[in-house]
A = this chain, B = another copy of it.
């Protein structure tokens, strides 16, 4: 019996999809940028079926592509258009919340759970799962783990990696590794879960996880501040962290152009402050309980900022609706930029202390190559993660010659600055297929060699998500 026949015996014929049109949502990314071919899409019901599927592919030497919500930004969950077409293993039927333990502050979930459903399940136990993304209504928890998703709450709660306690993984030969521990401390050999977190489906299929929960942040205060320069944002960061430490849960920077694009292109968005400023900060304090008024605390620290001439103007949201409105301005960035023109989004992180330097040098580099580009800056400056976006109007872009080559030169001009400052070309989006050239350009040979050794040890046949994450695999 051929592979498809064997797979149908495992999951049932109706859970094997082979029509090109029916597979389109799995073989193409949501923005329509990357396309590929698959042998089929399989939809297993449980971990045992995943294991049997993988063992079958292993016997036949057929590549395997694990897939969650397919919401990534770097083409990591889309198959290649050349080479042996893989079996796509969709986790979408494995969406059970297995258990919530409020005393241990943990939740055990299957990989196909949509992130927003994890939020809801945690909240119903008065707990908080902090990883929050624009795609949280459709991305799956397994995908957020396989890509170590970031988002706007990393400053306070860390990335996905910091919120995973245990994993269940089907290894490339079909073996199930059940590491579903909910322990805070466990020093018994190599910490294998960290190998799979962020491995983008190249080492196995994550089928379930135990996640760390936090006390629910019942109280929040949000402010919007206008500033003269990124240096002042860093000084405000130090000031607030020194005073409120772990209460600082949001610290997002954008430049004037980014705010203008949001106001112009997204309905119902308006500038939170009336005066004009070159730079803008969204600041959030939150707390799970305790005494004292957070709005007053935020007011006090902003007043210190005024006195030190770090902040030019600021408003504090006076209601839940106003707090949401400030965050909506921040969350409208992707929509605005897509409507306004062509942005060459980068995803650098540098040491927090180097962010102002990064922005100024990257601007200089980009203008030297492409004088027609303007620069949009939006980022999680509290983590040193700046989305620096050389930006063109549609007209300006269409008037340019050799756009692909120019894009690449511009991206490198930005990423080179990050690298020189001890930074990275991919803070949160990952590598996928888009950043493979950057891996070769910026990673030490010793580090790439070590990654290859690990890949070859765990996936010796090289069947898992080939051609992704590591160049030339």
**Hey, which bits of chain A sit against chain B, CB under 8 A?**
101-106, 126, 147-148, 150, 154-155, 159, 161-162, 171, 175-179, 181-192, 194-195, 197-199, 203, 214-215, 217, 234, 237-238, 241-247, 287-292, 297, 300, 349-354, 380, 383-385, 422-431, 435, 438-439, 442-444, 446-451, 453-458, 469-470
Contacts and interface: CB of A to CB of B under 8 A. Distances in A.
Nearest to A147: B187
Copies held by the complex: 2
A289 B245 contact: yes
Contact of A185 (B102, B126, B291, B384): B384
B243 A288 contact: yes
Contacts of A449: 175
B288 A428 contact: no
Contacts of A185: 150, 154, 159, 349, 380, 383-385, 424, 427-428
5 contacts: A215-B242, A242-B288, A245-B287, A246-B247, A454-B457
Interface centre among A215, A244, A449 (most CB of B within 10 A): A215
A181 B424 contact: yes
Given A192-B451, A290-B297, A450-B192, A186 B431 contact: no
B444 A177 contact: yes
Contacts of A470: 189
A214 B454 CA distance: 33
Nearest to A288: B245
A253 to B, nearest CB: 14
Contacts of A244: 288-290
A198 B191 contact: yes
Cβ-closest 6 pairs across A and B: A194-B194, A245-B288, A457-B457, A103-B353, A185-B427, A243-B289
B352 A184 contact: yes
Nearest to A438: B188
Contacts of A197: 191
Given A103-B352, A161-B191, A246 B243 contact: no
A210 B183 CA distance: 25
Contact of A425 (B155, B188, B194): B188
Contact of A188 (B161, B183, B424): B424
Nearest to A193: B194
A247 B290 contact: yes
A101 B217 CA distance: 30
Contact of A190 (B171, B289, B349, B451): B451
Given A184-B349, A297-B291, A439 B243 contact: no
A276 B161 CA distance: 44
A422 B182 CA distance: 8
A356 to B, nearest CB: 10
A443 B191 contact: no
B184 A384 contact: yes
A438 B187 CA distance: 12
Contacts of A184: 154-155, 159, 349, 352, 383-385
Nearest to A155: B184
Contacts of A242: 126, 215, 288-289
A449 B161 CA distance: 23
Contacts of A447: 177, 179, 189, 192
A108 to B, nearest CB: 10
A189 B469 contact: yes
B159 A162 contact: no
